Structure 1
Amino acid sequence: MPDGRAQQLGSPVLDDGNLSNPLVGSTVILIGRPSPTEIERAARASASAVIVRATETSAKVLAAAGERAGITVLAANEKLSWGEVYSLVRTMFTMYETRDEGRLDLFELADSVARDAGGAVAIEDMGMRVVAYSSIPGQDIDELRADGILGRRVPEHAVQAEEYLAVLRAERAVWCHEPRDNAPRLAIGVQAHGQSYGTIWVIQGDTPLNARAPEILADAARRAVPQLAKISFAGDARRHLRNDLLGRLLRGIGPMEKLAAEVGLPVRGPFDVVAFGAFGALGSPADELDTGLVADMVRNVLDSYRIRAAVGVHDGHGYAVVAGEPDSSLWEDLIRETLSRASERHGETWRAGASRVLTDIRRLPEGAEQAHDVLLALSSGSDESLAFARHREMSAALVLHAVGTCSRLSVLLRDEPLATVLRHDDEYGSEYAKTLREWIKRHYDVPTAAAALFVHPNTLRHRLNRMRDLFDLDDPDLRLVLALQLRMHASEVAGAATA
């Protein structure tokens, strides 16, 4: 460290070997095993520091190169991914880049606003966590605010999502009157450069608020940006670390017992792995931000019931590893309810698939694969009302999904005999596909199938006899293939209609 510990970290930049632009004051993260030449190159690019991974021997060589080039060289812990290093540096940089007003204590700000506006104040982050509140004597608070302060999280109520969206979308302070049995609130979003960092709320008690309360809140929101930004970035860093550790656990990369301890899980089962997500009309997963928010919802509700679980985002989907719960009914109901609320809030249908019960922590990757397969089968299945299922309950659906996603089989499933049926329907306006689907679905029982088709049994028998002119409808192998083809075709038609 040529300048000792006084050297301030700059904004982080990941370098894969192509760094060329001047980066005055930046902290360059050198990916891989850098050489002294790359240390010197970073110094010439006007970086303030570089971060490397190095062995004990190479660390001395790189440190000497840094001394010669006049640049600080820091060694990253081998246990940290490059993404975690980046998030950590970004958080530290954000915490110290602001001056004066950035050091304002949020509790002091809450007291100041409460005095000027005339009502009790709470400041929340984007996770609806109460990060600061006022304590001015004589100012009333209602039950909702008291619960939020005690639990450091705002209790949920029926119109909470709509209320917060209205506050964050508004350009100025807005009034909120729900729930009706609590005091009205004046609220404003804390935003900067198009990014939201939290909200500020002031309660109106028996005495009306100061007429200038909206302007007072607007000024407070501007002043709160630096501190809430720090909280936001720190939360992002923690979330990234949590997701990375959970991802390693679900992939089986690294010492499983140690990874389990780092995410707060025991080393002995039973374990259940749950994958949850929502899919768009074209089969694409939900937005990563939405998935992260829903993962937070699942984590919070499981925590509130003291259910031991590691929850995060992995490969675009939410995952929860639930430990030590031989009776799964409680946490299953909690996840169902949480995903139902997420569906209402985000406008998509959220579903979850659970693995079989695992007794060995080394089988978590297998459990993750099972849960993921169930989630995909649920999302592509014909039963839209089914939002949660276990692997043991989905055997048939899993086979159908596997068959439908196999490219070689997908071609065959569109071939004969189904192709003959569909071609005949297109050319002559017949309803052979629909007829066969109902006949097979009713276990080849003509009276029952005829009732489902709203035709006379003799009419159905006549149609079936005419189909025998096209192919051998009495061949058991052909019937099996046709049943599978019709089932997969129905799924494709349903998917196209949704799109």
Structure 2
Amino acid sequence: MTQRPRASLGRVLDDLGATLLELVAGDPDRPDDIGGVVIHDPLDDPVLPQHALVLGVGLHDPEAIIQVLHDLGRQNAAGLVLRSPVAAGIAAAATESGVAVLALTRGATWDQLGILLRSVLDVGVAESETLGGMPSGDLFALANATAALLDAPVTIEDRSSRVLAFSGRQDEADTARVETVLGRQVPERYSRLLSERGVFRELYRTDQPVYVAPMPATGPEVAIPRVAVAVRAGDEVLGSIWVAVHEPLSSERSEALRDAAKVVALHMLRIRADADVERRLRADLVSTALNGGAGAREALDRLGLADRALVVLALAAPKDGLTAERQRLADAFAMHLGAVFPRSAAALVGDVAYGLVSVDSEERASRVAQDFLDRVGSRSGAIIGVATAARLPQARASADRALRVLRTSRSAQRVARLADVQVEALLLELRDLVEARGEQLTGPIARLLAYDQVHNAKLVETLRAWLDAFGDVTAAAAAVYVHPNTFRYRLRRLAEIGNLDLADPEARFAAMLQLRVLATDTVSDDSLDEPC
């Protein structure tokens, strides 16, 4: 059985140093395990987990940094990450407070750092369990071991060229490799070029290392070649190992790379199995918490969310999408929420990924949701409903109602709180009630529709445009592309034929409600018999 490991500050620097982080002051060898990663908020004073690593986003003023260091020292934080370069005088304050100061290299984003820290801190390792002599599932350790064998920097990537782990010494490679590590993804221009050269095709059809000529370099720097080998489990290709080299590998090192690929395959399979188990467990806990009942309290306890004000976020992708795509989107959603909120949980339940976040504001949760959708792009087609309530089942129902409005809406809105779309949600529910009863149009709207079906007079379209324009004939006529005089004539005709008093607010409201709620393609038999 695996357990959630902890990593020391030294481990973080070993895995991310040189490429991302530099130790400015403090003891990297202190034995304390990092208890969590938290983003500094100057407007809030959150309770930090034990030995927290704090990301000082937006911290530049030396006096403010010194004050933050003293505050973090009182809370026994492990370290504070600042944007490089770090001002002079900070090292003395760090020593006095007992909080290490790390510098984030220029060009790297806080989001990249947050994702990489989660990769380092969330590796599933059990002390007594090893595969191939390495801690089970620790791809970073494998990458470093492989780099030591080959005397060259290494990355381990999946089938989509996403970087799963990387070794140290990446600064010895070229710009393309540094860009790949920072983005945790091979840049699209390089991936496309590799495909055009047939590199992936050759890589995936052989178990031998493949020599890859240098990619085109940008600027004065010279690109260096790669040697890659596929990571396989039987006939399935799980990913690949990429080594930045200056010359082809010797036969001994090629054999060592092949052996390393076999060990990496074992670990990747184990990670996949552990991830599947964790997903199912997390999904069960989230589902139980959302449903309420006797087991909800225990589920929230296990998720670390008991006795907290929670906001529910419901994420949905197009229903025609693949299950694997929905799962990847849900995993990205869970990672995003975890990077922003120290207390959160997310899982795919059915076709919807639900996120539970400990935050006292729907507005902030909505901003985080919009930020996530902006990052994944519009191609995903994802939408998010946001809601909160005294009880989680009510909050889930409200988030689902907001989500349904987004699914049926023609607008470009992708995030909605129920409070923002309550009227639309009520109309949809009223439409459900009407459909369940099998009710059809009656009264003035039915008479107008029957007349249109016979004469194609477009009276229903005219009435809808007039109501939508709040009686503005000029705007309504422009909306249906007719002359205002023609529109006025149609208004008089529809009032006469439908026996509809357009000056009566109750009649206008009834007509608007019928047009919104009832299908306008069928009418009752009685309406068809009425004189036109």
Name the CA distance, whole Å, in 2 between partners of 1:476 and 1:275.
38
- Which residue does the alignment assign to 2:333? 298
- Which residue does the alignment assign to 1:119? 152
Q: 1:403·1:409 contact (CA, 8 Å) conserved in 2?
A: no
* Structure 2 CA distance for partners of 1:472 and 1:298, relative to 1, 3 Å: same
Name the CA distance, whole Å, in 1 between partners of 2:458 and 2:214.
56
For residue 259 of structure 1, the aligned residue among 299, 305, 315 is 299
- 1:153-193, CA deviations, whole angstroms, 9 ceiling, x for partnerless residues? 96468749977996988725678969968967665653446
How many residue pairs get aligned? The number is: 380
For residue 241 of structure 1, the aligned residue among 281, 296, 311 is 281
Q: Secondary structure at the match of 2:152?
A: coil
Q: Map 1:202-221 to 2 at 5 A.
A: 202-204=243-245, 207-210=246-249, 220-221=260-261
- Which residue does the alignment assign to 1:337? 371
Q: Map 1:336-375 to 2 at 5 A.
A: 336-344=370-378, 347-356=379-388, 358=389, 360=390, 363-375=391-403
Q: Secondary structure at the match of 1:455?
A: coil
* Structure 2 CA distance for partners of 1:365 and 1:301, relative to 1, 3 Å: same
Q: 1:273·1:321 contact (CA, 8 Å) conserved in 2?
A: yes
Name the CA distance, whole Å, in 2 between partners of 1:348 and 1:165.
25
Q: 2:241·2:261 contact (CA, 8 Å) conserved in 1?
A: yes
- Which residue does the alignment assign to 2:350? 315
For residue 430 of structure 1, the aligned residue among 442, 457, 475 is 457
* Structure 2 CA distance for partners of 1:197 and 1:178, relative to 1, 3 Å: farther
Name the CA distance, whole Å, in 2 between partners of 1:127 and 1:276.
23
CA drift at 1:326? 3.8
CA drift at 1:328? 3.8
- Which residue does the alignment assign to 2:413? 386
- Which residue does the alignment assign to 2:474? 447
- 1:413-445, CA deviations, whole angstroms, 9 ceiling, x for partnerless residues? 566655554454444343333322211101123
CA drift at 1:325? 4.0
Find out whether 1:288 has 2:328 as its counterpart.
no
Name the CA distance, whole Å, in 2 between partners of 1:488 and 1:178.
60
Moved more, 306-315 or 234-243: 306-315
Structure 2 stretches lacking a partner, 5+ long: 1-125, 522-532
Equivalent pairs: percent with the same residue?
27
CA drift at 1:225? 2.2
- 1:359-395, CA deviations, whole angstroms, 9 ceiling, x for partnerless residues? x4xx011101100111111111121x10001011111
* Structure 2 CA distance for partners of 1:327 and 1:108, relative to 1, 3 Å: closer
Moved more, 216-225 or 100-109: 100-109
Name the CA distance, whole Å, in 1 between partners of 2:417 and 2:497.
41
CA drift at 1:491? 11
Q: Secondary structure at the match of 1:310?
A: strand
Q: 1:403·1:410 contact (CA, 8 Å) conserved in 2?
A: no
Q: Map 1:170-189 to 2 at 5 A.
A: 171=204
Q: Map 1:96-175 to 2 at 5 A.
A: 110=143, 114=147, 119-124=152-157, 133-134=166-167, 140-141=172-173, 155=184, 159=188, 171=204
Find out whether 1:273 has 2:308 as its counterpart.
no
* Structure 2 CA distance for partners of 1:416 and 1:457, relative to 1, 3 Å: same
Q: Secondary structure at the match of 1:200?
A: strand
- Which residue does the alignment assign to 2:524? none
Q: Secondary structure at the match of 1:412?
A: coil
CA drift at 1:201? 2.7
Name the CA distance, whole Å, in 1 between partners of 2:367 and 2:405.
20
Name the CA distance, whole Å, in 1 between partners of 2:134 and 2:240.
18
Q: 2:434·2:518 contact (CA, 8 Å) conserved in 1?
A: no
Q: Map 1:53-132 to 2 at 5 A.
A: 110=143, 114=147, 119-124=152-157
Q: TM-score, length-normalised on structure 2? A: 0.58
* Structure 2 CA distance for partners of 1:437 and 1:219, relative to 1, 3 Å: farther
CA drift at 1:402? 1.2
For residue 509 of structure 2, the aligned residue among 463, 480, 486 is 480
Name the CA distance, whole Å, in 2 between partners of 1:477 and 1:116.
82
Name the CA distance, whole Å, in 2 between partners of 1:312 and 1:432.
49
Q: Which amino acid aligns with 2:267?
A: Q
Q: 2:230·2:261 contact (CA, 8 Å) conserved in 1?
A: yes
CA drift at 1:278? 1.6
Q: Secondary structure at the match of 1:231?
A: helix
Moved more, 167-176 or 252-261: 167-176
Q: TM-score, length-normalised on structure 1? A: 0.61
Name the CA distance, whole Å, in 1 between partners of 2:250 and 2:455.
75
Q: 1:125·1:228 contact (CA, 8 Å) conserved in 2?
A: no
CA drift at 1:263? 0.9
Moved more, 306-315 or 409-418: 409-418
Name the CA distance, whole Å, in 1 between partners of 2:294 and 2:190.
39
* Structure 2 CA distance for partners of 1:163 and 1:121, relative to 1, 3 Å: farther
Q: Which amino acid aligns with 1:231?
A: I
Name the CA distance, whole Å, in 2 between partners of 1:157 and 1:287.
24
Q: Secondary structure at the match of 1:274?
A: strand
CA drift at 1:318? 0.6
- 1:211-237, CA deviations, whole angstroms, 9 ceiling, x for partnerless residues? 989998677545532221111101111
**RMSD value over aligned CA atoms?**
4.7
Name the CA distance, whole Å, in 1 between partners of 2:456 and 2:144.
76
Name the CA distance, whole Å, in 1 between partners of 2:405 and 2:268.
41
Q: Secondary structure at the match of 1:300?
A: helix
CA drift at 1:144? 8.3
Q: Secondary structure at the match of 2:384?
A: strand
CA drift at 1:107? 6.7
* Structure 2 CA distance for partners of 1:338 and 1:323, relative to 1, 3 Å: same
Q: 2:346·2:354 contact (CA, 8 Å) conserved in 1?
A: yes
Name the CA distance, whole Å, in 1 between partners of 2:442 and 2:255.
69
Q: Which amino acid aligns with 1:197?
A: L
Q: Secondary structure at the match of 2:204?
A: coil
Name the CA distance, whole Å, in 2 between partners of 1:327 and 1:260.
20
- 1:69-95, CA deviations, whole angstroms, 9 ceiling, x for partnerless residues? xxxxxxxxxxxxxxxxxxxxxxx9xx9
* Structure 2 CA distance for partners of 1:439 and 1:264, relative to 1, 3 Å: same
Moved more, 411-420 or 426-435: 411-420
Q: 2:137·2:270 contact (CA, 8 Å) conserved in 1?
A: no
